[in-house]
Chain A
Amino acid sequence: MDKSQYDICLEVLIRLDDSGILSKVILIGSWCLPLYRDLYFCDREISALRTRDIDFLVSRETKFNNKVDLPALLEDLGFILDHSFPEGYVKLIHPELIIEFLVPEIGRGTSKPYPLPELAMNAQRLRFLGLLENDTIIVDFSGLKVTLPHPVNFGLHKIIVSTRRKNIDKKAKDIEVGLEVLRLCINNKDEPKLVELFKNISQKQRKKVIKSFEDNEAEDILEILN
């Protein structure tokens, strides 16, 4: 991890922890990878390819006890608020990091952002995030307790999301990361968890995942699922 990026990430996590936010959110997205590598897969090689986006998943049931003005809390670090137009999502941006909150989309869906008034922020609603909040692990990152999706859920989520991607580069990245994480999970004796999770997703999703494994020469994973 780049030193200045690491420092800024750690400082953000410390401030979220001090404000009582960190324990209420799940760190998702490509920032999970270095934490999985260092704290779950015991330093096994894992792709370090990631963007600056650091995404936090907020469960719909989450209640924040304190009111925290997050943009003000991070202002002195140089973070500024960025509004997407016309959707209205807000992000906190910095040359080293882009902070965004996400919430699982349910029902018919809407393009409106999900308000998080306690944090003076809002969250983007996305499909399939429920898979990431169903099973989580807590890792110790520089003395902070950070909640991450279980790597099996993370890997399978990447594959499911890849089947819906229109952007070819993003699709390729999701498949690459998803397969890499799932293979590491298998080596880490997480096979039963993968089989169980696969059984629990919808039949439609199962078909798409199998197709994706077939298209990407992941017979080793298919064999386990069969």
Chain B
Amino acid sequence: MAIKGVLKEELENSIKMQKKYEEELQKLPVGSLIKKKIKGHEYYYIVMRENGKVKFVYKGKRVSEALVEEYARAKEMRAKYRKLLSQLKKQIKFLKGALRGQESI
């Protein structure tokens, strides 16, 4: 009985967490900052996907250190949050199955 209660609580927590991580992902700046070398000159672009197409947004020959750091951090956090989201989805699947009695606990 107590096990079922714990599983229910954990399932609710996982579902709430999934929503929170999705919100956090939305907060991160879209795309990645890249440097292109064209005819010996370097130019910065934000590369992103829009309606399934890759889009380059020109940012200039030089960008601030803060912008570089912001995008580097966003890249790192995006990868981390996606990994944790995938972990949460597996947890939710397992917990739902266990509560239905279709999976061994």
* Chain A residue contacts of B4, Cβ below 8 A: 169
A173 touches B84 (CB 8 A): no
A residues whose Cβ falls under 8 Å from a Cβ of B: 49-52, 75-76, 78, 80, 82, 93-95, 98, 167-170, 172-173, 176
Contact residues of A: prevailing secondary structure: mixed
* Chain B residue contacts of A176, Cβ below 8 A: 2
For chain B residues 42-76, which have a beta carbon within 8 Å of chain A? 76
Contact A51-B87, Cβ < 8 Å, known A93-B17, A167-B5: no
B6 touches A51 (CB 8 A): yes
Interface size range of chain B in the complex:
20 to 34
Closest residue of chain B to A80, judged by CB?
A: B24
* Chain A residue contacts of B36, Cβ below 8 A: none
* Chain B residue contacts of A75, Cβ below 8 A: 77
Closest residue of chain A to B21, judged by CB?
A: A80
Give the docked Cα–Cα distance between A131 and B63 (Å): 57
A78 touches B5 (CB 8 A): no
Q: List 24 A-B contacts (CB under 8 A).
A: A49-B3, A50-B6, A51-B13, A52-B10, A52-B13, A76-B80, A78-B80, A78-B81, A78-B84, A80-B24, A82-B20, A93-B17, A93-B20, A95-B87, A98-B13, A168-B1, A168-B5, A169-B4, A169-B5, A169-B6, A169-B9, A170-B5, A170-B9, A172-B5
